[in-house]
């Protein structure tokens, strides 16, 4: 789809300020939209929104469609009449800088149980009808997801293929009985999804009313321990005996890791997916496009060819490139949904075949300025080498260090290389030099992580690829959306014509 010349901010909602230990879809999300509008920022990009699993990674979710209940705003539950205001008077002393996922989840789950009880007593006829309609309309994924999460709790959170055999193998009689005996916790899971999507649509409406487009993120792979694999195992490459992944997803050694990245997700059985007309995928995209205006496809190159690592390997070194579904996949999705507002994450080992697939469908690719300064003037990430405006340029992404941290980690000679290219060392910090560079480029969109606007260092990065813990936790403080930053961004928008 054609892209207007715009700029925006990368910030995951969990990083928003909140007294409840994690960012949510309440007032601070609206305040962020107001700040974006004041700064003439027309794009809010975020990470995947699903319920997080292993390592609290949004890229390892229990569902490709469901929303993360931790993002539900307790204040909105009070406003709806389902939670008494007194329930929010005693809030634990959460760390305002980092998300303690376990502590926040324990706290919020107690509120959710109370809100569900309040809904059953106090919901209006209109609210009850809306809930019933949501459950009916979303049944194709919601029924399996609600049962899956309930069974996860019943079996002590172990992986689904280690459940009792009738549940792991989805014996119809066993599952039917479980739906009867576990009806109440299953209903709670449905309720939480209803609330999440109600609050999400309120936020999306508010953002769009302010001229802000939302950019979501769809990981090419789903977590093995997910409702999707449990309920649609024929679509994935699994061992028929153990139901473990027969081949695991990842990438070979690259910029981020000398041993590659072994993600552990099962790769797809693309032949079976093709035989279904890519039905599961089409439903996934259809749902996501009701939530956001654009989608970044993480690891786009996997649709051309993907790195498959045999089960049992401990690193991603010993893998093979396997052909992906290619153009046939996107032709099927576009045939069902029309022209796709998609951004292709085309980083890493990119071949001419991957570029051809991206360009065939006119998907914009990505440019990362932190990658631009270490291989001479021909480096494709340097702005003077952008041969087309059909790109989104970033100072860095969620997988990069902050720009300040990145710059401070460079040698004096390497720092000078950056300064020479920028033409000066601005008084406000290297992060604004790279922001200006992104804004000035011919790329249609320029996106800056909020950490770079704030000038924060390495302790505020979102993710360190290959690191097992302490990722995805960064939060900004209340008051972070400073008027002076909005003014500075608006000046750059005006200077480089990013009004759209």
User: Which residues are the active-site residues?
Assistant: 298, 345, 399
User: How far is residue 160's CA from residue 62's CA, in Å, rounded to a whole number?
Assistant: 11
Would you give the DSSP letter of residue 374? S
Residue 143 has a CB neighbour count (10 Å cut-off) of 18
Query: Strand pairing partners for 447?
Result: 8, 394
**307 in Cβ contact with 250 (< 8 Å):** yes
Backbone angles phi, psi at 194, to 5 degrees: -60, -45
Q: Where are the alpha helices (DSSP H) in 382-482?
A: 403-408, 412-422, 430-440, 450-454
Cβ atoms within 10 Å of 36's Cβ, excluding its own: 24
Query: How far separated are the first and last CA of the chain, in Å rounded?
Result: 14
Sign of torsion over alpha carbons 229, 234, 236, 237: positive
H or E element: which one contains 264? Answer: strand 261-266
- Asked if residue 147 lies in contact with residue 171, where contact means CB atoms within 8 angstroms, the answer is no
Burial annotation 433-465 (CB, 10 A radius, 16+ → b, else e)? bbbbbbbbbebbbbbbbbbbbbbbbeebbbbbe
What would the two tokens of residue 325 be?
Answer: 């579904």
- Identify the DSSP state of 276: T
Q: Strand ranges (DSSP E) for 16-72?
A: 43-45
How many angstroms separate the CA atoms of 37 and 319, rounded?
A: 46
How far apart CA 404 and CA 418 sit, in angstroms, is: 12
Q: How far apart are CA 470 and CA 36, in angstroms?
A: 28
| Cα 410 to the center of its chain, rounded Å | 29
């Amino acid at each position: 789809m054609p892209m207007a010349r715009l700029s925006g901010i990368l910030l995951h909602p969990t990083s928003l300020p909140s007294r409840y230990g994690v960012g949510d879809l309440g007032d601070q999300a609206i305040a962020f939209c107001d700040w974006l509008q004041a700064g003439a920022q027309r794009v809010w990009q975020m990470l995947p929104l699903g319920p997080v699993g292993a390592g609290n990674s949004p890229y390892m979710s229990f569902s490709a469609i469901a929303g993360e209940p931790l993002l539900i705003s307790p204040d909105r539950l009070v406003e709806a009449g389902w939670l008494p205001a007194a329930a929010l008077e005693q809030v634990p002393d959460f760390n305002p800088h980092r998300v303690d996922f376990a502590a926040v989840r324990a706290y919020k789950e107690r509120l959710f149980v109370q809100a569900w009880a309040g809904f059953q007593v106090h919901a209006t006829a209109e609210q009850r009808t809306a809930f019933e309609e949501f459950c009916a309309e979303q049944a194709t994924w919601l029924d399996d997801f609600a049962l899956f999460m309930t069974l996860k709790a019943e079996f002590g959170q172990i992986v689904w293929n280690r459940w009792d055999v009738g549940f792991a193998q989805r014996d119809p009689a066993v599952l039917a009985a479980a739906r009867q005996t576990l009806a109440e916790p299953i209903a709670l899971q449905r309720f939480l999804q209803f609330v999440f999507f109600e609050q999400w649509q309120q936020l999306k409406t508010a953002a769009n009313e302010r001229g802000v487009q939302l950019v979501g993120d769809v990981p090419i792979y789903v977590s093995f321990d997910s409702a999707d694999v449990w309920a649609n195992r024929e679509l994935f490459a699994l061992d028929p005996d153990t139901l473990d992944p027969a081949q695991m997803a990842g990438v070979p050694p690259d910029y981020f890791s000398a041993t590659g990245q072994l993600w552990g997700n099962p790769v797809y059985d693309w032949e079976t997916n093709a035989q279904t007309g890519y039905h599961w995928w089409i439903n996934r995209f259809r749902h996501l496009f009701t939530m956001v205006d654009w989608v970044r496809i993480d690891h786009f190159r996997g649709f051309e060819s993907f790195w498959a690592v045999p089960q049992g390997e401990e690193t991603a070194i010993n893998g093979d490139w396997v052909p992906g579904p290619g153009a046939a996949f996107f032709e099927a999705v576009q045939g069902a949904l029309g022209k796709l507002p998609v951004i292709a994450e085309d980083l890493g080992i990119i071949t001419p075949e991957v570029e051809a697939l991206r360009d065939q469908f006119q998907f914009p690719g990505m440019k990362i300025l932190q990658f631009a300064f270490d291989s001479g003037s021909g480096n494709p990430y340097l702005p003077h080498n952008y041969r087309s405006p059909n790109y989104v340029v970033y100072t860095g992404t969620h997988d990069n260090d902050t720009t300040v941290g990145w710059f401070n980690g460079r040698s004096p000679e390497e720092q000078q290389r950056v300064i020479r290219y920028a033409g000066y060392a601005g008084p406000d910090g290297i992060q604004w030099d790279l922001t200006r560079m992104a804004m000035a480029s011919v790329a249609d969109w320029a996106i800056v992580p909020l950490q770079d606007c704030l000038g924060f260092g390495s302790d505020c990065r979102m993710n360190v690829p290959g690191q097992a813990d302490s990722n995805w936790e960064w939060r900004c403080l209340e008051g972070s959306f400073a008027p002076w930053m909005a003014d500075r961004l608006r000046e750059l928008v005006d200077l480089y014509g990013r009004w759209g």
